[in-house]
Amino acid sequence: MENIQNFIDKLFLGDSLTVLNQIPEDSIDIVLTDPPYFLDKLDNSWDLSKVHNRNNQQVIKSLPAGMKFDSMQGRDFYDWFLGISQQVYRILKPGGFFFSFSSPRLFHRLCSAIDDAGFEIRDSFIWLYTQNQPKAMSLNHFIDKLEIDNEEKAILKYKLDGWKTPQLKSCYEPIAMGQKPTDGTYLSNVIKHNVGLFNSTVTVGKNMFPSNVLSIDPLGESIDRVFLLPKPSIKEKGKTNDHLTVKPLAICEHLIKLSAMSPNSIVLDPFLGSGTTVVAAKSLGHHYIGIEINEKYLELARQRLSTLDQQNQPDLF
C-alpha cells in the first residue's frame, strides 16, 4: 500500500476502483462524489459521443439519454456501487463522511449500497431547483407508425391528447450522507481522528441552522430564508466546460464546510468529471484527490484548478 502523500493534491486518470484500491486505509477525511447514474447511456463508460445529440430532438431516432426504463439499471448500479462504497469505507477515517449525489430514480439503490458497505446513513440532502426540461413524451410518433387508417390515428391521438409517458419534471437531486462508524464515542473519535461532527456555524439562507434542503436558485422569500446557498458565480464552470452534469460549486463547498474539522482535510472525489469537488476543496484551503476515467474531463478539471491558482496569485502591481 502506498503512502497517502503520493495521492494528495493529485488527479488520477483511470478507473476509480483501481486507484481507490491503492489508497491507504483510514486516510481520507471526506469523500464527495457524483457517480455515473446508470441510466441508459450514462453508465460507468458514458461519454459525450455516446449521449444522444440534443440538437436533434425533432426526429426521434432513439430515446434521449436517461429516458429508457430498464429495471436492471438499478440492480447493475447497486452491484457496481457496492464495490465502490466498500473501498470508500476502507479509506475513510473512522467517523468520516461519504456524500454522494444521485438521481431520484436510483437513490434507493445508492443508499442500500452505501448502507451495505458498512456506513451509517445519517441523513440525506435534497438539492432543489426549478429549471429543468420535462422529459415526458407523447405517443403520437408511435401512433403514426401503426398500420391503421388516418381516421383511426386521429381518433387515437384525440383520445390520448395530453397523456404522456410517466416522467415528471425533475426538480431535485438527492444527496446521500453516509458516515463511517466512529472509533468509540464521538468525542474520542474527534480527539483521535479529527473528523465526525458537523459545523453548525455554517449557516444557510438568512443565518439559519444548516438543514437537509439546499437550493442555489431563489425560490420564494420564505424558502430562500431557510434554504438558499450563495448564488454561484457565472464563471465558475469555466468557458470550455461541456461536461453534462457539472454540479454547483456552492453545494460542494457547503458540504465540505459542514464536515471538514481540520483546516487541511483531504477531500476525495472518485468520479471527478469536470472537477467541481476538487475546486471546492482547494478554494477552501483543503487537500484534494480526484479520479476520472475520461481524459477530456480530467483536463477540464485541471484547467479549473489552474484558473483557481491564477485567481489566487497575489497582485504584483
Ligand X SMILES: C[S@@+](CC[C@H](N)C(=O)[O-])C[C@H]1O[C@@H](n2cnc3c(N)ncnc32)[C@H](O)[C@@H]1O
- In the complex with ligand X, the residue whose CB is nearer, 39 or 92, is 39
Q: Is 287 in the site for ligand X (CB under 6 A)?
A: no
- Candidates 91, 113, 246, 278: give the one binding ligand X (CB under 6 A): 246
Rounded Cα distance, 305 and 276, in Å: 9
- In the complex with ligand X, the residue whose CB is nearer, 247 or 286, is 247
From the CB of 291, what's the least distance to ligand X, in Å?
A: 5
From the CB of 229, what's the least distance to ligand X, in Å?
A: 15
- Candidates 9, 15, 26, 224: give the one binding ligand X (CB under 6 A): 15
Find how far residue 181's CA is from the centre of its chain.
Answer: 23
Mutual angle of helices 72-91 and 107-116, in 10-degree steps: 40
Rounded Cα distance, 170 and 134, in Å: 7
From the CB of 217, what's the least distance to ligand X, in Å?
A: 17
- In the complex with ligand X, the residue whose CB is nearer, 46 or 189, is 46
Q: Is 16 in the site for ligand X (CB under 6 A)?
A: yes
Binding mask 135-174 for ligand X (x = CB under 6 A): ----------------------------------------
- Single out the segment in contact with ligand X by CB under 6 A; choices: 117-125, 141-149, 208-216, 287-295: 287-295
Phi, psi values for residue 255, rounded to 5°: -65, -35
Reading phi first (left if > 0) and then psi (alpha if -120 to 50, else beta), residue 167 is in beta
Q: Is 271 in the site for ligand X (CB under 6 A)?
A: yes
- Candidates 7, 23, 34, 100: give the one binding ligand X (CB under 6 A): 34
Q: What 3-state DSSP class applies to 182?
A: coil
- Candidates 273, 281, 282, 289: give the one binding ligand X (CB under 6 A): 273
Residue 11 contacts residue 298 (beta carbons within 8 Å): yes
Q: Which positions from 67 through 106 interact with ligand X, judged by CB under 6 A?
A: none
Judged by CB under 6 A, the number of residues near ligand X is 18
Q: Which positions from 293 through 312 interact with ligand X, judged by CB under 6 A?
A: 293-294, 297
Separation in Å, CA 163 to CA 76, 136, 151, 227: 31, 9, 19, 34
From the CB of 161, what's the least distance to ligand X, in Å?
A: 36
Rounded Cα distance, 214 and 204, in Å: 8
H helix intervals, the chain: 16-22, 72-91, 107-116, 140-145, 150-159, 186-193, 221-227, 249-259, 276-283, 295-311
Query: Contact residues for ligand X (CB under 6 A)?
Result: 15-16, 34, 36, 44, 243, 245-247, 271, 273-274, 276, 291-294, 297
